[in-house]
Structure 1
Amino acid sequence: MKKLVTFGLAVLLSFTAVITKAQDKSILWEISGNGLSQPSYLLGTIHVMCKKDFEMKPKVLKALEKSESLVMEINYTDPGEMTALQKMLQADKKISEQLTSTEANELDEILKEYHTNLQNVDNYSSQALYALISTKAIPCPQTEVKMYELELLQKALKEKKSIKGLESVNDQLNSINKAYHLKDIIAQLKMGKEYEILMQKTINAFKNEDLKTLDMLLKDKRFMNEKQEEAMLSNRNKNWVEKMPEMMKKERSFFAVGSGHLWGDNGLISLLKSKGYTVKPISNL
């Protein structure tokens, strides 16, 4: 359960993207120009999915092979970050102590749908509680779960590439705290079945590289309102795009982030273009 909860935090950070032109239908983009001596790459991922749905396209593998570094949202090879991730799952205050008795009873009933109860999760952090949604969203056993970034990481390490992160675990924690308060999370837990439907539609759109449909699905107000979008996507993108130029100048970088971070006025593609870079979709490589 703990491993799946950790994965679940990644699942719920991965949503939102929109592309309006047919020729822009791609999950992989090339970044060039603006003084770069060689191009870098930007990949939109779905962080976690079932093994039966998992696919890493040849163009993605070729782009990674050409790159000198793999840059993910978090550097999963940093022991300090992994320690921080484990601490992120621990609560400073019990969930039941933050709720009225009526609210606690209601949550206990909701958690039955997740095959657990409030007593079992009472020491969870709000972020870990939020990650329980993944147990509904991912319709397969934990043993059949595949993490896209982990697969990329294994290949990158085998090829002896440098590994970097765009933010820290604490940065992510702050974003989640701004976006989702405990009662917001409980409201999301009530929609467990709807998350399962959303996840399957999202996977289908991702496999088809249909980012326009991904955007329509993931910006559904039931799952992400404007305040949450700003905290989870826009603000993080603005922070990341300040770090990316130096990385790309130093070496050919392969950026792998949730698909939700790619498009929109505050998406990475638009922000990189505003800095003078040429960012174009890759069909084949």
Structure 2
Amino acid sequence: MSVCKKSNRKTVRTFCNAALLSTLLSPLALLSGASQASLLYKVEGNNLEQPSYVFGTMHVLCQQDFKTGDALLQAFADSEQVVMELDLSDSSVAQKMNQMVINPEGPYLDQYLSPEQLTTLSDFVQAEAGVELTQIAAMRPFVISSMLVTQQLDCAQTASYELFLTMQAVSNQKPIIGLETVEYQFGIFDQIPLSEQTQWLWEMAEDPEKSKNLLVKLKDTYLAEDAEQLHQLIVDQPEYEEYTDMLLYQRNENWIEKLATNFQSAPTFVAVGAGHLGGERGVLQLLRDAGYSVTMVE
């Protein structure tokens, strides 16, 4: 279902804009981790009267790769509320994102890149996104990177689990709960030096095949539901090593207490970037540590 390409309804456009801007708040947001071949898990125990579910998403996929199996749809139907990283049904989320995509201090690229590097980056942006670098030069570097990575998927049409689940929840009148705010997510990147973020952007332009090959590898591993390998691919990226704790693990830990409250209030369907699921400090293990039974749904 490629809603973003096919509909002009105002509400849908709001969902699409928010989904696009939240696509890659970090490359870590793409993916998963757990020891078996599944991205859907049942959560029971701790005196829960009914089970809840946790699903790992890839925020943007090509339309032909987008799948919703019977188990996923049944788990969603059995849940009374939906929890995601952001509540994309809230129009203020998209509005805040649109307000915050611009770097607070304005254009910055020429402070960190040479004229030759700027020329290479400009050519890359034009080739991948079809826009002039000057049109987006004031955007935060991770926002530009997100736009370019989405283009590198090379899809005729894209689809988003977050968008799909948001529209399903709205259609079925299921409440949506956001684990984080736009301000918090953008604030994470305020803690990473602008010079370093610019360097990551430059590396995409300098060696586009390298970044595209990594993206394809991550996508293929996601489609194979090899969650542990996905987690390993993420944490092995040297440029993010210093920030993995802030981008991934601290957020996981912040979510567990909130999820416990959600699970107690009603059967809950949780959908987060699959990179948050795996590893010793992933959501699945933290839920087990908190006393829940977490089992794979094939």
TM-score (norm 2): 0.84
2:200 maps to what in 1? 187
SS in 2 for 1:132: helix
Are 1:274 and 2:286 an aligned pair? Answer: no
Tell me how far apart the structure 2 counterparts of residues 40 and 254 of structure 1 sit (CA, whole Å): 6
Tell me how far apart the structure 1 counterparts of residues 152 and 187 of structure 2 sit (CA, whole Å): 23
Aligned residues: 276
Q: Higher mean Cα deviation, 165-174 or 181-190? A: 181-190
- The 5 A counterparts of 1:36-55 are 36-55=48-67
1:163-218, CA deviations, whole angstroms, 9 ceiling, x for partnerless residues?
A: 11111111111223334634334334423332321222222222221112212322
Counterpart selection for 2:75 from 60, 63, 79:
63
Contact 2:85 2:179 in 1 (8 A): yes
Amino acid in structure 2 at the alignment position of 1:81 = V
1:210 maps to what in 2? 226
Q: Which consecutive unaligned segments of at least 5 residues does structure 1 have? A: none
Q: CA deviation at 1:159?
A: 1.6
Contact 2:188 2:246 in 1 (8 A): yes
- The 5 A counterparts of 1:103-252 are 103=114, 105-115=116-126, 116-141=131-156, 144-179=157-192, 181-191=194-204, 192-222=208-238, 224-225=240-241, 227-252=242-267
Q: Higher mean Cα deviation, 115-124 or 206-215? A: 115-124
**RMSD, matched Cα:** 2.4
Counterpart selection for 1:255 from 270, 274, 280:
270
Tell me how far apart the structure 1 counterparts of residues 95 and 18 of structure 2 sit (CA, whole Å): 14
Distance 1:104 1:273, change over 3 A: farther
Distance 1:257 1:263, change over 3 A: same
Q: Which consecutive unaligned segments of at least 5 residues does structure 2 have? A: 1-16
Tell me how far apart the structure 2 counterparts of residues 160 and 5 of structure 1 sit (CA, whole Å): 23
SS in 1 for 2:106: coil
Counterpart selection for 1:74 from 76, 86, 92:
86
1:124-157, CA deviations, whole angstroms, 9 ceiling, x for partnerless residues?
A: 123322323324432124xx01111101111222
Contact 1:95 1:122 in 2 (8 A): yes
2:40 maps to what in 1? 28
Amino acid in structure 1 at the alignment position of 2:246 = A
TM-score (norm 1): 0.87
1:28-86, CA deviations, whole angstroms, 9 ceiling, x for partnerless residues?
A: 01111112111100000101011111111211111000000111100011222222111
Tell me how far apart the structure 2 counterparts of residues 67 and 51 of structure 1 sit (CA, whole Å): 26
Tell me how far apart the structure 2 counterparts of residues 16 and 46 of structure 1 sit (CA, whole Å): 6
1:222-277, CA deviations, whole angstroms, 9 ceiling, x for partnerless residues?
A: 4531x221111101111111211111100111000011000112110111111111
Contact 1:238 1:271 in 2 (8 A): yes
